[in-house]
Copies of this chain bind each other. A is one copy, B any other.
Amino acid sequence: MANVLTPQGEDFPRWYQDVIAKAQLAENGPARGSQVIRPSGFALWERMTAEMDARIKETGTENASFPLLIPESYFTREADHVEGFAPELWMVTHGGGKELEEKLAIRPTSETVIGEYMAKWVNSYRDLPLLLNQWCNVMRYELRTRLFLRSSEFLWQEGHTVHESYEDAHAFTLRILHEVYADFMENVLALPVLRGIKTEAERFAGALNTFAVEALMRDGKALQMGTSHELGQNFAKAFDIQFQGKDGRQAHGWTTSWGTSTRMIGGLIMGHGDDAGLRVPPNLAPVQVCVMVVKDTDEVQTAARKVADELKGDGLRVKLDHRGDVAFGRRAVDAELKGYPVRIEVGPRDLKNGEATVVSRVAGTKETVPLGMLAEAVAAALQGAQEQLWNEALEFRESRTADASTVEEAVEAAQSGYARLPWDACGVEGERKAAESAVTVRVL
């Protein structure tokens, strides 16, 4: 079979673009750096949001919705924040045919507007912790964009919380990092992640500390998959988020914010994909099993529908591909491209023997299975696929992590993966030096 995609080893960025186009995941939108997420791509995001949302709610956080447009003046209240975001804003200047009195920015993130409302809602220690999240779109002006990874508009969740004390806020920042982000990425996405603290240079604008989770892509480069920020009292002071404590005294709250975005789709593609396309871990997969008719006969169609219905009845996410009018070969290539963990081919020859063919995308196996045993075979294949993706990613990371004792060694090692370097041996100077070779300090 001719390659549908540029091989990874030949040109990884090109392979990435090819997969997105051929698997019909996304396209560029009309405005600079905007994107159209097509149904195959959006289904991945829907599964991500469902899994993440359940974990976020487990922490006691509630969803809300804040406005898209933020008055320009809000940004100026926290000095570091305005410096960090001003150059990236998209500005609305007209509404209803008239010039607006105050310019409005499309939210690049919502600390400021949410801070304004938190200040109204928080009065007493009884109101704390206040734990909010929203799923929404945000925009940041970008000159060089790549679908999912760096786009002007993206979809994300942003959590914002207020706590009584430094300790509470600190603990919550880490709880999100470990129990929500890393747990989702490791157990659902099957991507081992490094968790740690960002250097001052990479910190969120206005934060005390930024924690991040980073995954290693198959080209040996790290991708930041999510961040959780301790904002200290910076925003609480800028927006006057005060409460009366148990001791009767007024105090400023301690806030956090944390986010993950459609960039995780990019991480999924580059963390597991191969030269045939996506490989989607079964715990995430919107389609865990694709049941395909090999030939368009009544007998085959009926049998395929029955197989699909039974697997659905077992609680699996199943797609029935009954398109008799599209060549089977083309549909099989498409199933590989989209990375369905298991496909079941139902054809007249197998059916005569009371069998169907089970193809495992990750293991690369193809076996004939009696119809009565399909449920077990599929369950085993799904579990195997989840484990194999995890193991491959973990082994790849281990093989690409080198210990270094100097910045020079680290820069060299980082050409093909992670370098583990004591911060004492790096420091701010070392970070600057590494940056000249396009190497960044990921987490401490």
In the complex, A35 has a CB within 8 A of chain B: yes
Measured between beta carbons, the chain B residues less than 8 angstroms from A29 are 66-67, 69, 113
- Report yes or no: B36 in contact with A62, Cβ–Cβ below 8 A: no
B90 touches A95 (CB 8 A): yes
The answer to whether B68 touches A34 (Cβ under 8 A) is yes
Complex: how many Å from CA A23 to CA B110?
A: 24
Using Cβ atoms and an 8 Å threshold, which residues of chain B touch A71? 30-31
User: Nearest chain-B residue to A114 (Cβ)?
Assistant: B36
Docked pose: A43 CA to B134 CA in angstroms: 12
Q: Does A137 contact B (CB under 8 A)?
A: yes
A94 within 8 A of B: yes
A222 within 8 A of B: no
Q: Which of A70-126 contact B (CB under 8 A)?
A: 70-71, 74, 86-97, 104, 106, 113, 116-117, 126
- Is the Cβ of B90 less than 8 Å from the Cβ of A62? no
Instruction: Indicate the member of A36, A67, A91, A325 with the most B CB atoms within 10 Å.
Output: A67
Q: Shortest Cβ distance from A24 into chain B, in angstroms?
A: 9
A70 and B30: CB pair below 8 A?
Answer: yes
Q: In the assembly, what is the distance between CA of A65 and CA of B95, in Å?
A: 24
A42 within 8 A of B: yes
Tell whether A141 is near chain B: CB-to-CB under 8 Å.
yes
> Which of A86, A136, A141 has the most B CB atoms < 10 Å from its CB?
A141
| A46 near B31: Cβ-Cβ < 8 Å | no
Q: What is the total number of copies of this protein in its complex? A: 2
Q: Quote the shortest CB–CB distance from A21 to chain B (angstroms).
A: 12
In the complex formed, the residue of B with least CB distance to A126 is: B325
Task: Quote the shortest CB–CB distance from A222 to chain B (angstroms).
Answer: 26
Residue of B nearest to A86 (CB): B97
A132 at interface, CB cutoff 8 A: yes
Smallest Cβ distance from A168 to chain B, in angstroms? 18
Please state if A95 and B30 are interface contacts (CB–CB under 8 Å).
no
Chain B residues within an 8 Å CB radius of A152: 95
A442 CB to closest chain B CB (Å) equals 27
- A11-33 interface code vs B (CB 8 A; 1 in, 0 out): 00000000000000001011110
Residue from B45, B94, B153 within 8 A of A69 (CB atoms): B153
CB distance B113 to A30 under 8 Å? yes
Cα–Cα distance between A137 and B153 once the two chains are bound (Å): 13
Asked if A38 CB lies within 8 Å of chain B CBs, one says yes
| CB of A2 within 8 Å of the partner chain | no
Q: Report the minimum CB–CB distance from A181 to chain B (whole Å).
A: 21
In this assembly, does A380 line the interface, its C-beta being within 8 Å of a C-beta of chain B?
A: no
Residues of B with C-beta under 8 A to A373: none
- Contacts A93-B91, A94-B93 given; indicate if A65 touches B143 (C-beta within 8 A): no
A76 to chain B: closest CB distance in Å? 14
Q: Give, as a whole number of angstroms, the nearest-CB distance from A37 to chain B.
A: 4
Closest chain-B Cβ to A244's Cβ sits at a distance in Å of 14
Contact of A68 among B27, B42, B153 (CB under 8 A): B153
A69 near B34 with CB under 8 A, answer yes
Does A63 make an interface contact (CB < 8 A)? Answer: yes
Question: How far in angstroms is the closest Cβ of chain B from A241?
Answer: 15
A334 to chain B, nearest CB (A): 14
Name the distance in Å between A122's Cβ and chain B's nearest Cβ.
Answer: 13
Cβ of A64 < 8 Å from any Cβ of B? yes
In the complex, are the beta carbons of B39 and A95 less than 8 A apart? Answer: no
For A35-58 the 0/1 string (1 means CB < 8 A from B) is 111110011011000000000000
A residues 128-173 near B (Cβ < 8 Å) are 132, 136-137, 139, 141, 143, 152-153, 155
Is A438's beta carbon under 8 Å from chain B? no
Are the C-beta atoms of B95 and A92 separated by less than 8 Å? no
Give A332 Cβ to nearest chain B Cβ, in Å.
18
Contacts known (A126-B325, A136-B137); A92 close to B64, Cβ less than 8 A: no
- Interface: A326 (CB within 8 A): yes
In the bound complex, what is the Cα–Cα distance between A43 and B61 (angstroms)? 12
B96 touching A87, Cβ below 8 Å: yes
Q: Which of B43, B63, B64, B95 contacts A91 (CB 8 A)?
A: B95
Question: 3 shortest A-B CB distances, which residue pairs?
Answer: A96-B141, A39-B62, A29-B67
